[in-house]
A and B are shown apart, each in its own frame.
Chain A
């Protein structure tokens, strides 16, 4: 994708000065109601169509997941999990996987290329491909294992939440195509309200642990799920229970780096002052007037 409105960029990768603050936009969110999903994959098709992506034809590996995983060409994938939360009561949990659009994005924090990853003030996290250098740090930083590096062009790819559509007042392609209303799009506030309603319904239907998945460890996300078993998100193809940016990533990209830069510059400056204050060590035969002789 490409950057739409520089005024609307709230966070920018590898940038130490503040982004534009003048204009505030309303935070958006996509709500995925797993309990209403029938696994038809219309969202996958709509994603391919809108974004002009065509993945290679994959292979069957005994589940309905197709393709097997997120790829540079498949920014969303339905994950089918067969689970028995209660004994002998099979449940088919179908989760639409893809970028969660974290409020505190680990990919953006890890990215060393200025402006290659941005977070718009509406909450969408977008890869600005022309600035991407292909280092793969976003993969290292993401708590959800979402970005994929292309083997063709070495650029990172993931769901853009159709930032181009949202920028002109449209809903994301997947939400547009969903036939059951399992994917909804709107302001984050509205989506959380709607999610809460769905949770009430589900609880009445016997799903006592139903809930909205909006993990606070990453500051909340702009893709939120309604889960029948919100107490066990791992059931949904390993959705992390408490995702957060790894402390290793925080250490690597936090205070340690500026301190290390200061140490390097400090060492060179200290050397200079040592030379000017203490002076060099000279040997006796190194007098300036002596003629250099031939080697032994």
Chain B
């Protein structure tokens, strides 16, 4: 008997996810180029400093619009509940390699939910503040003091977003069998039983 697979993301959801990834890479390369002089070389990947300045806002906006689609589909699954608090309490043990005391998780565990909301908030801040100093179209509509506040918040949110993406990507590599959910749309039943027991029960009716 072979392995049984459970559907997790349909083709549309996967496409949307990878579009976010592509736009994120574009926005991150062009944005980090301006973040610190040590990263200015990244602008070469998008055609130089001026192209980085031109493309960055469009990349960021495209990423955010795609993320909005993802948000509307998934936010209900990411509402924190009582069981999540228990999960977070034991998350340190899991990081040290001991999963034995982790409470069963639903479709998303508390860590994934946290990352989801951190991404939602940081993207919202990035979009709003980004408009405030978007040259040449919107910046001049805002007073200089507001632009100064906006650039600080933009850089801070960008840092938070990049860090959350690093955690997100690492978690997908760390928990074997996860990447398949976004490349093929399915996960193995064993993966579901082990990492998302409540979701597994929901999907299969089995304990």
Residues of A within 8 A of B (CB): 14-16, 112-114, 131, 133-137, 139-140, 145, 149, 151, 154, 246, 248-249, 251-252, 256-258, 260-261, 263-264, 267-268, 271, 274-275, 278-286, 290-296
Contacts and interface: CB of A to CB of B under 8 A. Distances in A.
Interface of chain A: mostly helix, strand, loop or mixed: loop
A135 B174 contact: no
Contacts of A275: 170, 173-174
Given A15-B37, A292-B2, A296-B7, A154 B136 contact: yes
Contacts of B53: 133-135
Contacts of A285: 3, 188-191
Contacts of B6: 296
Given A134-B136, A137-B133, A275-B170, 16 more contacts: A15-B37, A114-B37, A136-B139, A149-B136, A248-B152, A252-B152, A260-B36, A261-B35, A264-B162, A274-B170, A278-B97, A283-B188, A285-B3, A286-B191, A290-B3, A292-B3
B193 interface: yes
A137 B49 CA distance: 13
Interface of chain B: mostly helix, strand, loop or mixed: helix
Given A252-B155, A258-B36, A267 B144 contact: no
Contacts of B35: 112, 257, 260-261
Nearest to A285: B190
Contacts of B183: none
Contact of A135 (B5, B34, B94, B163): B34
Interface of B: 1-7, 33-40, 49-50, 52-53, 94-97, 99, 133, 135-136, 139, 144-145, 147-149, 151-152, 155-156, 159, 162-163, 166-167, 170, 173-177, 186, 188-191, 193-195
A264 B176 contact: no
Contact of A278 (B95, B176, B194): B95
B177 A252 contact: no
Contacts of A284: 190, 194
B190 A140 contact: no
B170 A281 contact: no
Contacts of B156: 256
Nearest to A12: B37
B166 A268 contact: yes
Given A112-B40, A249-B148, A286 B162 contact: no
A295 to B, nearest CB: 5
A281 B166 CA distance: 18
Given A261-B35, A296-B7, A134 B50 contact: yes
B36 A281 contact: no
A267 to B, nearest CB: 4
Nearest to B6: A296
A137 B170 CA distance: 34
Contact of A260 (B34, B50, B133, B159): B159
Contacts of A252: 148, 151-152, 155
Nearest to B134: A136
A296 B36 contact: no
B96 A286 contact: no
A55 B146 CA distance: 29
6 shortest A-B CB distances, which residue pairs? A293-B2, A285-B190, A271-B170, A133-B49, A112-B34, A283-B190
A263 B147 contact: no
B37 A16 contact: yes
Contacts of A151: 136
A295 B33 contact: no
Contact of A283 (B2, B147, B159, B194): B194
Contacts of A292: 2-3
Given A136-B133, A296-B5, A257 B148 contact: no
